[in-house]
Structure 1
Amino acid sequence: MNETEQRRATQLLQLARNGDAESLETLLASYIGYLKVLSHSQLDPRVRGRLSASDLVQESLLEAHRDFTKFAGTTTAEFTGWLRKILVNNAARAVETHLLAAKRDYRREYSLDLLRQAADESHARLNSMTAVHRRGPASEAEHQEDLTVLSNAIEKLSTEYREVIVLRHVEGLTFADIAIRMNRSAGASRMLWMRAIEKLREAMSNENHE
């Protein structure tokens, strides 16, 4: 990482709160990978033909930049949660626009509360993955850096590897359920996951040394 990218998220957040526009842009950019990983599970497959994960993330980051003065927290954990809520709200609006207007039966399935709960659960699973790669306790800033490295590494995987990682570790699906989603046998899904995990380790190592 370059010098700017190595600055602690807490320092960037404090500088941004003090009005430093460059720090805010750097801080928001560091969350692109994280928000993309979450968006894969938030964005309904029936909507993806009209709105990509990248579009959803870009829209959310622009909104966060515009409304940053409304952020009332002081920690990176609170900031991460605030960004997550913005992402969920935009995902819900996408469903409202492209699905609910035509089929009202989807409204209960895609309630805002359920989407927020799903996003929080996905975040918790990502946190669990970062803990596996750290031997000792981490500070808040170190924890956020781990989350950023992990998310960026997942986004750099091939489509199949990224999908199986997201289904298993972000959505929390069993291999039987993954097999159905990916049109494979459960055994083939497990083998694909094992290869994906190995590639993820390599990608994380590369992220740490860039």
Structure 2
Amino acid sequence: MLADARLGSGEQLGGLLEHYKNYLRLLAMAQMEERLSARLSPSDIVQETFYEAHRDFQQFRGGSSAELLAWLRAVLVNNLHRAVEHHLGTEKRDMRREVSIERIDASVERSAFRLEGVLQDPGSSPSLRAQRQEREVALADELARLPRDYREVIVLRHLSGMPFEQIGERMNRSPGAVRMLWLRGVRQLREQMGDGWNRRFEEPQR
């Protein structure tokens, strides 16, 4: 699909980008604190990212899916930063410094690393790394199938790295209710994908 897209096939490029939609949406969701998520959705950020990817695809010089995904993440970071500047630009200066483009880029990388950490390590060869990346994309697709509350608590816990107490404040629930929501969400994921893929989900401490 990447080779066909390079030859100018808009249909192939569209299908290729669609393949990564849920993955990019998860990364965007993990960066959007309450001030920003109250004003736009992760899907808005991803839609803008895809628009720019279509527009600027001839500038992409990579030759692999890993390089394409890294390029898309960079476009996503720029769009997240512009969204912060646009929607939170009137807030006091020290708040804006907290969300510099470098900070957003580092946060997206941490979220991607955390998503990768959920999966068992298949090894370090190039072919195995490519398989792992596809499993991350598949995991994002399965998370997209979950009810919204299940998906939100898993993203905040595992991609944003929040403790259950902070997630409870974000979701207006008690820490105990959030723990139960998390357990139900993980259980449904295991039913959808099988038990072996996600053994690195840790049970919450009681």
Q: TM-score range by the shorter chain?
A: 0.7 to 0.9
For the aligned residue pairs, the C-alpha RMSD in angstroms reads 2.2
Retained in 2: the 8 A contact 1:161–1:193?
yes
Counterpart of 2:47 in structure 1 is 58
For residues 139-185 of structure 1, give each alpha carbon's deviation from its aligned partner in whole angstroms, at most 9, with x where no partner exists. Answer: 34422321221111111211110111001111112223323323333
State whether residues 28 and 46 of structure 2, in contact with CA within 8 Å, keep that contact through their aligned partners in structure 1: yes
1:97 maps to what in 2? 86
| Equivalent residue, structure 2, for 1:109 | 98
Q: Secondary structure in 1 aligned to 2:35?
A: coil
1:28-49 alpha-carbon deviations (Å, 9 max, x no partner): 0001100111111222322233
Provide the residue aligned with 2:171 in structure 1. 182
CA distance in 1: counterparts of 2:89 and 2:10, whole angstroms: 38
More deviation in 135-144 or 76-85? Answer: 135-144
Matched residues in 2 for 1:148 and 1:187: separation?
30
User: Is the CA contact 1:42–1:88 (under 8 Å) kept in the aligned structure 2?
Assistant: no
Structure 1, unaligned stretches of length 5 or more? 1-11, 206-210
Deviations 1:94-127 (A, max 9, x none): 1101112343232211110010000000011111
Instruction: Tell me if structure 1 keeps the 8 A contact 2:164–2:178.
Output: yes
Task: Say whether residues 1:200 and 2:192 are aligned partners.
Answer: no
Equivalent pairs: percent with the same residue? 46
> 123, 128, 131: which is aligned to 1:139?
128
**Structure-2 change in CA distance of 1:172 and 1:44 (3 Å):** closer
Q: What are the residue-to-residue correspondences of 1:12-23 with 2, within 5 Å? A: 12-23=1-12
Q: 2: CA distance between counterparts of 1:155 and 1:112?
A: 27
Where in structure 2 are there 5+ consecutive unaligned residues? 195-206
Q: Give a deviation string over 1:26-70, Cα, whole Å, max 9, x none.
A: 110001100111111222322233322111111111111111111
Q: Classify 1:157/1:185 alpha carbon distance in 2 versus 1 (closer, same or farther; 3 Å).
A: same
What residue number does 1:3 align with? none
Q: Once the 2 structures are TM-superposed, how far is the Cα of residue 129 of structure 1 from its aligned partner?
A: 1.9
Q: 1:169 aligns with which of 158, 162, 165?
A: 158
SS state at 1:120 partner:
helix
Structure number with greater CO (CA < 8 Å, separation at least 6) is 1
CA distance in 1, matches of 2:152, 2:182: 9
Which residue of structure 2 aligns with residue 191 of structure 1? 180
Number of residues of Structure 1 aligned to a counterpart in Structure 2: 193
Contact persistence 2:123–2:129 (CA under 8 A):
no
Report the 3-state secondary structure (helix = DSSP H, G, I; strand = E; otherwise coil) of the residue aligned with 2:34.
coil
- What is the identity, as a one-letter code, of the residue corresponding to 1:95? V
Compared CA separation, residues 191 and 102, structure 1 to 2 (3 A): closer
